[in-house]
Structure 1
Amino acid sequence: MKQLDITNVFEFITEKIDMGLCAIDDSGRVIVFNKKMRELTGESLEQVTHRFVSQSLDFNLEQNMLQKVFASGQAISHVKQTFWNENGEEVSLINDYYPFTLNDGTKIAIQFSRDVTQQEFLMDRPLSRYGAPLTFDIITAVSKSMKQVIQQAKIAAFGRIPVMLVGESGTGKDMIAEGIHHELVEKNDRFITLICRRNEETLLTQIEKYIAEEKKYTFFAERIEYLSMPAQERIIELLESYQDRHHVFIASIGEDPIDLIQNGRLSKNLYYLFSNLTIQVPSLRERREDIKPFIDDYFARRRSNYGIHIKGLAPEVEELFLTYDWPGNLKELEVLLDDISALLTNEDFVDMTLVPAYFKWKLNKAQPISHDTANLFDFSHQELQPLDEYMRKVEDHYIQYALQLNDGNISQTAKSLGIHRQGLQYRLKRK
């Protein structure tokens, strides 16, 4: 049989695959740098070749990892990397590195990179999964307090003035910030979220880069109190230096600004810079009338996007949701609805069997677990049961006990039981 030269096939696959690929030899020569990797880093083959040869420090994680692979001859898996690429975009990758020896004895190291930027973004901002720009028309708000918040935000947009958003975690401050961006009469080029819990040195570098550009940006510094005081003072310097650029600056904090200032967590000067307009975003327990419209809107989007039949909550579940305090606010509510949606099949309404066990534990609605297991193993006064029925009782008892030990946390309970989260949810649903 004639041996085929499939080099072109591999080249085609390398360019088309939706995973970043990079391979270098032991001299640092780049021999593979595919299209996806070029998109992720914003670099051309020539740029990355120069970087590896010159040992530039801009994105040196993969260089260090590939060198470790050469030195040890061992693969390195699941290395997370977050950086700002050459296009000024924040990118998060999960990297795997492998050593390989070619037929001619040449040793190379290969990097496989999966793009998890969007997943990271949604973990930080689960309330942004609308598939459309977050305008004020999209935000579900029927309460007087939230209508007032939106009215104040529109005033901020009209005047292009700095805004400080104050509210508990999960109240939707990021939604208000993006709503201001889209409400601007003279549109800005881009909405940039600055997550202040991440590397502040990188964050400051990017602010300095963007703020000096001729384009007009809307900056949203999320939870700015997480930055160190020197970093906060540096932001003040930058904002004061480029006031004529017509950027829009929005910041959020999670606690009372006066308390943060007194505790040394918020710069007084930074607060004064944003205090032209301070908007207090109320917690969900302070505006319970927004709960049902939010849920109705959530399921309407699910029906539209996924073609499911769900109409809403059964009366007993609705009452439960309306009386619960929601310490995690809208974020907690939407994550709970996501978990419920993962269990939906052909149901029209969400009843108590679809409410996750961890939420029932929070409400103390789960049946208390008896620590007396004697009845499960006392066969002297009862007839034999079918084995599968008996084993299910034992399993249910053990799962409830594990849930109690883990405070109702589904993920942690599944991990401790050595099963997948979906498997645990299935077992809880059948009860």
Structure 2
Amino acid sequence: MKDVVHLNLMNKFFKQILDEIDVGVHVVNHEGKTMIYNRKMAEIEGMNFEDVLDKSLLDVFSFHKNEDSTLLEVLQKGTRIKNSKQTYFNNQGQEITTINNTIPITDNGVRIGAMEIARDVTKLEKLIRENMNKKGDTRYTFNSIIGSSEQIQEVIEASKRATRTNSSILITGETGTGKEIFAQSIHNGSSRSSKPFISQNCAALPDSLIEGLLFGTKKGAFTGAIERPGLFEQAEGGTLLLDELNSLNPPLQAKLLRVLQEKTIRRIGDTKDQKVDVRVIATINEDPIDAISAGRLRKDLYYRLSVVSLFIPPLNKRRKDIRDLVQDFIEKYNQLFGMRVTGINDEVLRAFDQYDWPGNVRELEHIIEGAMNLIDHEDTISYIHLPIHFRNKQQLKSNNASPVLPDEMPIQKGRQVIPLDQYMEEAEIYYLKTVLKQNNFNITQAAKSLGMSRQNLQYRVKKHKISKD
């Protein structure tokens, strides 16, 4: 009797705890039927307890084609799923989006069920979609540009001034520096913001297709040709972004120059010109002078486009912005992944400061996204979470670096030259002490910096009796 009373009391505690926590909890048995379903989960999914309890998941919820329930997937495979976004529908057809941690439940090695802990991101997902559709493809404004360095602030100020006019703009910058973000920001800050923003990568299509895409086609102009407006007509009253302009062949660049000068376009196969009111922003990923010298950019087109000329500095020229960019990307992926990462540790920051960033801001974002996919329960990104290709590059750089020894290390004592073995041992002790001090005597971090195992470093520290003093 005492055991029954105790069990009933524990069940009441258990139920109240489940109903008070601010995450959804859903547990199914080995048949996929719901056994536990807390109040928050009912709130997230807009369901009543009786609609779900003791019912099969697939009888209550529906999923997109080619997508399965994460609960059923874990139940079948027995492997946990962490921070997985899932969109599905309740029994009334309402769309729900959650970030789930799903875990198999076992008893003596036998799988008896699965548990899902869910966070609701339905409103956030809807808001993101609405913002992306608000102005077509333009979601960036000057507030989206992260960085307090003098280099980037100077470009932002010049870009803001360019919003007051309709002059053509040429944006120069390496791949991944954020040229399109600046183009969208200029469009959204101008009087054309309510009109279309059309973007076209000139390197993405062959010349035979891009001409028709830009200027449109007249029906019957060639076999299969239909009456179709080009990008200039589609962008009427707004902005046309031509990305990687130096990929266009010279004849097409000549036609583009004519459009900029005459403010008219002629469809392929047509005999009539029609006026267009479009602001052209072009981007180029190399020095324009080099592109002109190599014949990849017409000089007259360059002068016509560069009425306003902007240069986006590469990330390795604005290192002051790295910390702010990292925090912004962490916040972005915290929302998308339902995580609570707070930042990066000092070792990661040092690695970022020393890296050359050939892929610029885009590469930094991809590295942060990759790290957050590898992170487990920690709230800080450590060196071990960074993608392997980045760590390999840093390791190669460390291995190629020559150790610097102090000038005062003598090569002889008195008139006797120090034996090589003794000199090498003293040099090793000095080098190990230096690296350990740089890493605050953290053996794990120092071992990574030295490119050796933790055990190997510990052995050498004990062998040479190296201490903090």
Q: Deviations over 1:137-158 (max 9, x none)?
A: 1110211111111111112221
Asked whether the 8 Å contact 2:198–2:234 carries over to 1, the reply is: no
Q: Deviations over 1:293-346 (max 9, x none)?
A: 001011112223332021111111111112211011111111111211221232
- 1:239 Cα deviation (Å)? 2.6
Residue 216 (structure 1) aligned with residue 237 (structure 2) = yes
Match of 2:176 among 170, 180, 190: 170
Give distance in 2, aligned partners of 1:167 and 1:214: 24
Counterpart of 2:355?
A: 324
> SS in structure 2 opposite 1:137?
helix
The answer to whether the Cα contact below 8 Å between 1:309 and 1:346 also exists between their aligned partners in 2 is: no
Deviation string, structure 1 residues 257-294 (Cα, Å, up to 9, x no partner):
11111111101111011121111110101000111100
1:185 to 188, 191, 198: 191
Partner of 1:262: 293
- The equivalent position to 1:241 in structure 2, one of 221, 237, 262, is 262
Report if aligned partners of 1:142, 1:289 keep a CA contact under 8 Å in 2.
Answer: yes
Residues in 1 aligned to 2:148 and 2:241: alpha-carbon distance in whole angstroms: 25
Structure 2 match to 1:58: none
Paired position in structure 1 for 2:57: none
SS of residue matched to 1:194: strand
Against the structure 1 CA distance between its residues 272 and 314, is the aligned structure 2 distance closer, same or farther, given a 3 Å change threshold?
same
Counterpart pick for 1:147 among 145, 150, 153: 153
Query: Distance in 1 between the 2:253 and 2:65 partners?
Result: 39
1:202 has 2:209 as partner: yes
Contact 2:138 2:188 in 1 (8 A): no
State the alpha-carbon separation in 2 of the partners of residues 306 and 213 from structure 1: 36
2:381 — aligned with what? 350
Larger Rg: 2
Determine the C-alpha separation between the residues in 1 that align with 2:234 and 2:139. Answer: 24
Instruction: Give SS of 2:140's match.
Output: coil
Name the CA shift for 1:213/1:321 in 2 (closer, same or farther; >3 Å).
closer
TM-score (norm 1): 0.53
Q: In the alignment, what sits opposite 2:328? A: 297
In structure 2, stretches of 5+ residues that fail to align are: 1-62, 67-136, 216-229, 265-274, 400-469
Q: Shift of the alpha carbon at 1:202?
A: 2.4
Conserved? CA contact 2:316–2:360, under 8 Å: yes
Distance in 2 (alpha carbons) for counterparts of 1:272 and 1:197 = 21
Q: Distance in 2 between matches of 1:251 and 1:365?
A: 37
Give the match for residue 75 of structure 1: none
Between the aligned partners of 1:239 and 1:173, the Cα distance in structure 2 is 21
Whole-angstrom distance in 2 between the partners of 1:214 and 1:325: 38
Give the conservation status (yes or no) of the 8 Å contact 1:308–1:346: no
Aligned partner letter, 2:291:
L
Q: 1:220 to 1:333 in 2, by over 3 A?
A: same
- Work out which of the residue numbers 239, 244, 252 in structure 2 matches 1:231: 252
Q: Distance in 2 between matches of 1:154 and 1:367?
A: 42
Equivalent-residue separation in structure 2 for 1:241 and 1:301 (angstroms): 44
* Contact kept? 2:192, 2:239, Cα under 8 Å: no
**What whole-Å deviation, never above 9, does each CA across 1:185-209 have from its counterpart, x for those lacking one?**
3434211111011223322222212
Letter in 2 for 1:262: S
Deviation at 1:18, TM superposition (A): 7.0
Q: What amino acid does structure 2 have at the position aligned with 1:307?
A: G
Letter of the structure 2 residue corresponding to residue 202 of structure 1? L
Paired letter, 2:214:
I
Is this contact kept in 1: 2:200–2:241, CA < 8 A? yes
- Contact (CA 8 Å) 1:193, 1:219: kept in 2 or not? yes
Q: Which residue of 2 aligns with 1:308?
A: 339
**Runs of 4+ in structure 1 over 6 Å off:** 16-19
CA distance in 2, matches of 1:212, 1:304: 38
1:349-400 Cα deviation digits (max 9, x unpaired)? 11121112211111126997xxxxxxxxxxxxxxxxxxxxxxxxxxxxxxxx
Aligned partners of 2:198 and 2:235 also within 8 Å: no
- Matched position secondary structure for 2:310: strand
The alpha carbon displacement at 1:242 in A equals 2.1
| Identity, % of aligned positions | 29
Q: Identify the range of structure 1 (308-317 vs 187-196) with the bigger mean alpha-carbon deviation.
A: 187-196
How much has 1:17 moved relative to structure 2? 8.3
Q: Which residue of 2 aligns with 1:288?
A: 319
| Structure-2 change in CA distance of 1:313 and 1:201 (3 Å) | same
Query: Does the aligned pair in 2 maintain the 1:194–1:203 contact within 8 Å?
Result: no
Show the 5 A alignment for 1:4-403.
133-199=139-205, 200-208=207-215, 209-212=230-233, 215-242=236-263, 245-364=276-395
Root-mean-square deviation over aligned CA pairs: 2.4
SS state at 1:152 partner: helix
Letter in 2 for 1:144: E
Partner of 1:105: none
In structure 2, C-alpha distance between the alignment counterparts of 1:166 and 1:367, rounded to whole Å? 32
